[in-house]
Structure 1
Amino acid sequence: MRFICMECGCEASGSGQALYRCECGGLLDTVLDDRGLDADRLKRLFDVRLSERNTPLSGGVWRYKELIHPELPMDSIVTKNEGNTGLYEHADLREYAGTRRLWLKAQSENPSGSFKDNGMTVAVSHGLWLGYSRFACTSTGNTSSSMAMYAALAGAEAVVYLPDQGVSLSKVLQTEAYGAQLVRIEGGYDAGIRYLEEHAEAMRLYVCNSLNPLRIEGQKSIAFELAHQLDWRMPDWIVLPGGALSNAAAMGKGLDELKRIGLIASVPRIAIVQAEGAAPFHRMLLNRESSLRPVDQPATIASALHIGNPPNWPKALRYAIERARGVTVSVSDRDILEAKARIDRSGIGCEPASAAALAGLRRLVADGTIHPEETAACLLTGHLLKDPEAIALSLSLWKDSKQTVQPAPRPLEPD
């Protein structure tokens, strides 16, 4: 596996050690050696693995090992059969969005309840292969609970640097339940990232945030599994929320590789949705700026989007915007909660950050960016119970929108 700097183009050296950034400070990108990969053979191989049971290759990530981490030994893989998540259609949600057809990819069905598992299984497995026994991240919730779960599964130690703002209590409790050591750090997500970049090597900590290029490699599997579920015929658009922008980068990178290998005929366009109070990437593109200006005090009900300085914006720009002809949009917290209420009522359910995808799709159809005759897939990134504090707010908004008086619950005799 080769690591190339996105800034200077140099190849990073250092076999057997953790690599996150180039010496020049640029993010590292992995390069897949796709020589000898035959699309038809891969399709048959992936279909065969769908029928496997209780092997690493039966999951929705390692099924595509040849496209993710072909060099990793099988006995280094730490997995809970992540991926294998549902793809749903619902008439009410399609009408609400305004597209001819709509699929919802529920990454919320992953073992720890979020899409982070797709990348974390690869990051932790790679770290173990390198000889690390202590794993670390800074997180508003989903990353930490996923990392703590895989570390516990591997019998390793997890250390989480917890921001003092924008964190969901339920995600923190889930992280602690898996046995992680929690360290409160002043400042938000961005302060935690800076701390780890400065001190992780000295403390022999393997960093599992999305600046780790192996996280992106694992999250590419979402694109692979979506294509596989749709029999390699892609929708016109893929819409997803944008916090740290690792998912946007991974989706664009995965689609680019699928097209290059010949597994799909064309690359769908990508739409990245940010919350209005935490939308530095959207504002950068809206203002046609060449670099991202962080939001010092991000503010949104969607804790997973509560990130003012997304570390993966250069990768998202390259793969999701430039190569996938992507667009960005921002939506209000009210839009997010309204979309969440509808997804919850559909029987699928999601956390607020996930609902931003549906809210953004609706906005893009309304403003003419996406045509009503086009098709779309929305990525639901987190489980309904990830942010229980937001459930009451979305229910209140739903009731207000229906303009009905809700009767008080009354006891009923069983008969």
Structure 2
Amino acid sequence: MKFVCTQCHKEALVSERGLYRCVCGGLLDTIHDFKNMDAQRLKWLFDSRLAERNTPLAGGVWRYKELIHPELPIERIVTKYEGNTGLYDSEALRTAAGVRRLWIKAQSENPSGSFKDNGMTVAVSHGRWLGYDRFACTSTGNTSSSMAMYAALANAEAVVFLPSEAVSRNKALQTEAYGARMFRTTGGYDDGLRFLDRYADSLGLYICNSINPLRIEGQKSIVFELAHQLRWKLPDWIVVPGGALSNASALGKGLTELRDIGFIDTVPRIAVVQAEGASPFHRMIQSGQRSLIPASRPDTIANALHIGNPPNWPKALRYAIEFADGVTASVSDEEILEAKALIDRSGIGCEPASAATLAGLRKLVAAGTVGKDETAACLLTGSLLKDTDAIELSLRFDSPNLAGPLNPVELTIENIRHVLM
């Protein structure tokens, strides 16, 4: 296991402190030696770990430790048994999407309420192994709440830089409740990341944003668990929201590794969905360019997608688009809220950024990019309760009769029967 620069291909040791980028400025990629891996033996091993209880290997991340961080001592793992999230087969959402079959992978059911836990358990565990006791991130909310939770669990300090806008109050309160030291800074997400990139080492901070290659390794487990739940028979498409593009990178990398080891025969295609007001990656792919032009003023109700300069775009281009023959789409805030209402009313629920997956899938089916006879899995990245302000907005697309709960009525059988009829 080693780090390799995605640009100049220089190698580095994973045990080196303060290492997130190459000296040339390129992102680091984690490379494993899987040549002698036996897929059948590993399938048996992963199946056997489903019976684990209250051990680090009981979670849906470290169950696949051999494929994520084989060098980390088990006793150094910081875990809340993350992963183990639901996979739902909703007829209502399948009909809305227009595909032959649809699965919903609810990473929103993680301990902190978002997919960030899959990567954060690996990042914080690795940081503690290296000797760090102070962890940092810039965040629109999900990253910070996840990092603060794991730092508290590890008896370490969390330092968070929140942008001046597009941060859910719910996520900020959650982060604060876990004991993080929070700075509400001028500028946006991108400004905070540039600050950390420059000064983290001198401040003794271990960066837990997705420029950290170990975050990507942890997030690979999402597609490992999806494949495991489906008995190693993946759908034709996997649809993921695109904010910082860590999930697009991780899922593409994980799928490639599953194929190379022999778990799967073919790699599903990936669809990366961005909000129209924050879609620099989509614009780059649509224009046929290989260099991203940041969105100077990102604007979307989906605050987790409110990122103008996604740091992982080179990895997303390599793994999700090139390796997985991926596509991109952009959806309006109105389309996001309409899809959110459908997901909420299905009994699953999600925050707005998650709903971009269903909205994007519907758009891709309508355009003929995804066939109506194909199968798909949509990744939900954040819990319904991550952004309660958005619930009111989405209700206008699919609202039940709320006259009873909102307006007091005399509790008589006649009044209730009238409302229910």
Q: Is the structural similarity TM-score above 0.5?
A: yes
Question: One-letter code of the match for 2:201?
Answer: E
Is 1:72 paired with 2:72?
yes
Shift of 1:414: 8.4
Other structure's SS at 2:356 match: helix
AA paired with 2:59?
Answer: G
Q: CA deviation at 1:51?
A: 0.6
Query: Given the superposition, is the C-alpha separation of residues 373 and 14 from structure 1 closer, same or farther in structure 2, using an over 3 Å criterion?
Result: closer
- Report what 2:375 is aligned to: 375
Offset of residue 287 of structure 1: 1.0
Match of 2:88 in 1: 88
After TM superposition, give the deviation of residue 317 of structure 1 in Å.
0.3
Secondary structure at 1:19 match in 2: coil
Which residue of structure 2 lines up, in the alignment, with residue 350 of structure 1? 350
RMSD over equivalenced CA pairs, Å: 1.4
Matches within 5 A, 1:94-243: 94-243=94-243
Q: Give me the whole-angstrom Cα distance separating, in 2, the residues matched to 1:182 and 1:9.
A: 36
Contact 1:5–1:26 (CA under 8 A) maintained in structure 2: yes
Distance in 1 (alpha carbons) for counterparts of 2:53 and 2:255: 27
Deviations 1:236-268 (A, max 9, x none): 000010000000000000000000000111100
Secondary structure class of the residue paired with 1:200: helix
Counterpart for residue 29 of structure 2: 29
Residues in 2 aligned to 1:233 and 1:12: alpha-carbon distance in whole angstroms: 35
SS in structure 1 of the partner of residue 310 of structure 2 = coil
Q: TM-score, normalised by structure 2?
A: 0.96
What is the CA-CA distance between 1:341 and the residue it aligns to? 0.3
Q: Does 1:4 align with 2:32?
A: no
Unpaired runs of 5+ in structure 2? 414-421
Match of 1:385 in 2: 385
TM-score (norm 1): 0.97
Distance 1:46 1:14 in 2: 25
Matches within 5 A, 1:242-257: 242-257=242-257
CA contact (8 A) 1:233 1:265 kept: no
TM-superposed CA distance for 1:339, in Å, is: 0.2
Aligned mates of 1:55, 1:413 — CA distance in 2:
51
Against the structure 1 CA distance between its residues 156 and 367, is the aligned structure 2 distance closer, same or farther, given a 3 Å change threshold? Answer: same
Helix, strand or coil: the match of 1:210?
coil
Alpha-carbon shift at residue 15 of structure 1 (Å): 3.5
Is the Cα contact below 8 Å between 1:105 and 1:380 reproduced in 2? yes
C-alpha contact (below 8 Å) 1:18/1:127 kept by paired residues: no
1:4-46 deviation digits (Å, cap 9, x = unpaired):
0001111125743131000000000010111321000000000
1:242/1:274 contact within 8 Å kept: yes
In the alignment, residue 127 of structure 2 is paired with which amino acid? G
From 389, 404, 407, the counterpart of 1:409: 407
Does the aligned pair in 2 maintain the 1:123–1:208 contact within 8 Å?
yes
Distance 1:268 1:414 in 2: 56
Match of 1:328 in 2: 328
Runs of 5+ consecutive residues of structure 1 not aligned to the other structure:
none
State the partner residue of 2:306. Answer: 306
Q: How far apart are 1:363 and its partner, in Å? A: 0.2
**Aligned pair count?**
412
Contact 1:18 1:130 in 2 (8 A): no
Between the aligned partners of 1:13 and 1:253, the Cα distance in structure 2 is 20
**Which is further off, 132-141 or 162-171?**
162-171
Cα deviation code 1:278-331 (max 9, x no counterpart): 000000011111200000110000000000000000000000000000000000
Identity of aligned residues (%): 70
Between 3-12 and 55-64, report the one with greater CA deviation. 3-12
**Residue 231 to residue 283, structure 1, CA distance change in 2 (3 Å):** same
